[in-house]
Structure 1
Amino acid sequence: MTVSGLLRGGHSPVPSIRSVGTAVAGCGYSQSDLLDHFAVSDPKIVRLFHASGIQRRFLTLPDRGPGGSPSEESPGHLRAKHQRVALDMGSRALRACLDRAGLGLGQVGYLCCVTTTGLLTPGLSALLLREMELPSTVERLDVVGMGCHAAMNGLAAARSWCVANPGSVAVVVCAEVCSAAYVFDSTMRTAVVNSLFGDGAAAVALACRPAGAGRERVDGGRPVPHLLSSASQVITSAADAMRYDWDDQQGRLSFFLDPQIPYVIGAHVEEVVDRLLAGAGLRRSAVRHWLVHGGGKKVVDAVRVNLRLTRDDVRHTMAVLRDYGNLSSGSVLFSYERLVDEGVARAGDYGVLMAMGPGSTIETALVRWEEAT
């Protein structure tokens, strides 16, 4: 069966992406602001910050102490900050997402919460349910520790739930308080991490239209993006390239990014994308919209070069990286929101969503826009 036949008359319903919403927290900082805030003068670190392609990030940082340096945050303070800020950002992103689709809180049947920047038990989904007074019957899933590609894993879970529950709404919320996972010292290891990440949350709503139902309402009557399929690639030879380690001296977790990550991702990205497209009988030239996780300038360049994409193809990715930094799991959804706001997607267009993270893993999804019917 062709993709069009699957969408219009297949045996299984195909979920559509109903809407997206985003939120940030803290204050907006330029890279120069952050270097000044933490009194960084090492020329290598200064160059690293300014070569990132980032102009501004939103972070929830401690005030300066009596000596002019930022106040110390204990692991307990960082955990409390993660919970407080994740709840705040997540609830605002969820509200924006539902409002955009004309949906109410009572219509949410499934809630998947994604976060890597702090461990919460009960999970963020239960806390968000209570905070927003969602129905107590909402089915929940917390995706923890999967890092920057975890939005894709959340979408895959929500897609399966929607297929099993036509007419009901599933929401994925990604809330990453990266400033609750920072270690500040004079090493290049921590400088790489500290030069990239920002605080942000994104929410996306999905639903399958039951047979015989009326017209879908998606972002003002625009064509509806349908989530067709997904494909992943775990690069086991680089499983430790992105990881948390325990820092005994700092008494907290410290994130590590291997300098070889761009080359590892670049060497494997063609395989997973071509496998994703082959399942739908497509070539890369059929894809009009590319939404790539903004993991960093070098990572995006590696993806672009190996897939032979243009700079225009990754314009949303680079714009989000410029304006917000690397938002971990939420980045790809921030890029998707830019595409929605641009309003250029037309019925029949194909798009690829892609994110990379610990494992090392590349996660992809294929979407096709169709007229609302």
Structure 2
Amino acid sequence: MTATAPTAPASSSAVPTEPATRAPGQRLSTANAGPRPSVVGFGTATPANSYTQREMLELFGIEDPRIRSVFLNSAIERRYLTLPPELADGTRKTETQGELLAKHKEQGVRTGREALETALKRAGLALSDVGYLCCVTTTGLLTPGFSAHLVKEAGLPVSTGRLDVVGMGCNAGLNAMAAVASWSAANPGQAAVMVCAEVCSAAYVFDGTMRTSVVNSLFGDGAAAVVMVTDPAGTARAAHGAHATETAEADEAAPVGTVLKAASRIIPEAVDAMRYDWDDDQGKFSFFLDRDVPYVVGANAEEVVDRLLGGTGLERADIDHWLVHSGGKKVIDSVKVNLGLSTYALRHTTGVLRDYGNLSSGSFLFSYERLMEEGRVRRGDYGVLMTMGPGSTIETALVQW
């Protein structure tokens, strides 16, 4: 597969009330734009155990120099994983598809609940305040889905509206966030929550091939959550940080990310570039990544970002913060080159990749958390969120704090 220029008409979507056009060099004001969905809380969670890339190679006795090179040149230092149990001889158990699905459920519910509770705490809200819950995953299939399990395990109201987004891959966090934002806009004052729960180690196949080794070297386990509220008065402000809800001063100092617009791009000619296949020999699903994925994403990134900013009066130079999915070193480099971004602009994207690996749908929220905790965001700043995944798909959102 090779990267090609877009030939199909591009689609876009927008959260209600488009921002007004502004003259170049001026800040786009949303003060009189009416109520908009805002991210008032966020949280992340991981399994208890983490491993360096070298530790992974040693644990599984990988000697093939080609595979070792894939692990050690991935720009990843450590990942949080739920590995197969260790056997008496020191090797790792070969998990069945049923055992992998059980892992997916157990770890997904646990980390998803932890991320959810952290996000609500940061928002200064209680479980009883949640009116809508959207859960995202690609690492297993459950019926009922994570949303039902979280309502039960976390104690959310039984009246909570629910949606499960399954199988959309790494881009799905922004797909689901658009649905949550729409619900929030239609229900001002009520809390809507998105939880991305990915247990990528529940989708690993250990067969020694380069195909599975690329996947096994890249993905990590983790969950992320955001709480969105549309203030009827259009003045929503919530504090961020571990102790931000404790004082009015902290509340006043912390900016809130408001979603202004979204834009999407699917690349049909690359529909098979990222996919799950059934492996008859292993008796389980196996994920596939085409080696040309980074170039396909990069070739289409500029078009979708320009469309996202179209009609706003904003240019790429006006964007203060870029939160791009930590899809892998080559993917990040390709986006960086095609959008003309600096290393500093993608510091949180590369930092999350280094410390967690590719966390699939929740990766960009780990970067969002780091950005907010960094304390560099100022009111009026603009940000672009970007995720990429199967389809092949690029999702973007424009945010103002």
**TM-score of the two chains, using structure 2 as the length reference:** 0.89
1:312 to 344, 356, 364: 344
Q: Deviation per CA, 1:281-328: give whole Å up to 9, x if none.
A: 211001010000000000000000000000000000000000000000
Paired AA for residue 290 in structure 1:
W
Paired AA for residue 140 in structure 1:
R
Paired AA for residue 139 in structure 1:
G
CA RMSD after TM alignment:
1.3
Q: In 2, distance between residues paired with 1:5 and 1:48?
A: 44
1:17 to 39, 49, 56: 39
Residue 217 (structure 1) shift:
2.4
1:36 to 28, 44, 58: 58
Q: In 2, distance between residues paired with 1:216 and 1:294?
A: 28
Query: Which residue number in structure 2 is paired with residue 190 of structure 1?
Result: 212
Q: Work out whether residues 348 and 367 of structure 2, in 8 Å CA contact, stay in contact via their aligned partners in 1.
A: yes
SS of the residue corresponding to residue 260 of structure 2 reads strand
Q: Work out whether residues 7 and 14 of structure 1, in 8 Å CA contact, stay in contact via their aligned partners in 2.
A: no
Paired AA for residue 370 in structure 2:
R
Q: Does 1:261 align with 2:293?
A: yes
Q: In 2, distance between residues paired with 1:254 and 1:191?
A: 11
Q: In 2, distance between residues paired with 1:107 and 1:66?
A: 48
Q: Deviation per CA, 1:19-55: give whole Å up to 9, x if none.
A: 1100000411000110011110000000110000000
Q: Work out whether residues 192 and 229 of structure 2, in 8 Å CA contact, stay in contact via their aligned partners in 1.
A: yes
Q: Work out whether residues 7 and 13 of structure 1, in 8 Å CA contact, stay in contact via their aligned partners in 2.
A: no
1:8 to 23, 27, 31: 31
Q: Work out whether residues 158 and 170 of structure 1, in 8 Å CA contact, stay in contact via their aligned partners in 2.
A: yes
Give identity over the alignment, percent. Answer: 59
Residue 100 (structure 1) shift:
1.0
Paired AA for residue 251 in structure 1:
G
Q: Deviation per CA, 1:151-176: give whole Å up to 9, x if none.
A: 10111000100110000011000000
Give the count of matched residue pairs.
Answer: 367
1:214-253 counterparts in 2 under 5 A?
216-219=237-240, 220-221=250-251, 222-253=254-285
1:72 to 73, 81, 94: 94
| More divergent stretch after superposition (276-285 vs 64-73) | 64-73
1:82 to 98, 101, 104: 104
Q: In 1, distance between residues paired with 2:203 and 2:135?
A: 18
Q: Work out whether residues 107 and 168 of structure 1, in 8 Å CA contact, stay in contact via their aligned partners in 2.
A: yes
Cα gap change, 1:297 to 1:359, in 2 (>3 Å): same
Q: Does 1:283 align with 2:306?
A: no
Q: Does 1:292 align with 2:324?
A: yes
Paired AA for residue 32 in structure 1:
R
Q: In 2, distance between residues paired with 1:183 and 1:71?
A: 12
Q: Deviation per CA, 1:206-262: give whole Å up to 9, x if none.
A: 01001287x632323212211111000001110100000000000000000000001
Residue 61 (structure 1) shift:
0.6
1:353 to 378, 385, 396: 385
Residue 69 (structure 1) shift:
1.7
Paired AA for residue 57 in structure 2:
L
Q: Work out whether residues 294 and 321 of structure 1, in 8 Å CA contact, stay in contact via their aligned partners in 2.
A: yes
Q: Deviation per CA, 1:97-141: give whole Å up to 9, x if none.
A: 111111100111110000000000001000000001100010000
1:121-160 counterparts in 2 under 5 A?
121-160=143-182
Give 5+ residue unaligned stretches, structure 1: none
1:272 to 274, 298, 304: 304
Give runs of ≥4 in structure 1 deviating > 4 Å: 3-6
SS of the residue corresponding to residue 364 of structure 1 reads strand
Q: In 2, distance between residues paired with 1:154 and 1:6?
A: 26
Q: In 2, distance between residues paired with 1:119 and 1:42?
A: 33
Residue 150 (structure 1) shift:
0.6
Q: Work out whether residues 237 and 255 of structure 2, in 8 Å CA contact, stay in contact via their aligned partners in 1.
A: no
SS of the residue corresponding to residue 31 of structure 2 reads helix
Cα gap change, 1:5 to 1:44, in 2 (>3 Å): closer
Q: Work out whether residues 28 and 313 of structure 2, in 8 Å CA contact, stay in contact via their aligned partners in 1.
A: no
Paired AA for residue 300 in structure 1:
I
Q: Work out whether residues 118 and 180 of structure 1, in 8 Å CA contact, stay in contact via their aligned partners in 2.
A: yes
Paired AA for residue 177 in structure 1:
V
Paired AA for residue 144 in structure 2:
P
Paired AA for residue 84 in structure 2:
P
Give 5+ residue unaligned stretches, structure 2: 1-18, 22-26, 241-249
Q: Does 1:93 align with 2:115?
A: yes
Q: Work out whether residues 320 and 334 of structure 1, in 8 Å CA contact, stay in contact via their aligned partners in 2.
A: yes
Q: Work out whether residues 58 and 198 of structure 1, in 8 Å CA contact, stay in contact via their aligned partners in 2.
A: yes
Query: Which residue number in structure 1 is paired with residue 191 of structure 2?
Result: 169
Q: In 1, distance between residues paired with 2:214 and 2:132?
A: 36
Q: Deviation per CA, 1:169-204: give whole Å up to 9, x if none.
A: 110000000010000011100010000000000000
| More divergent stretch after superposition (305-314 vs 278-287) | 278-287
1:114 to 114, 121, 136: 136
Q: Deviation per CA, 1:63-96: give whole Å up to 9, x if none.
A: 2223332111111111111100000000000011
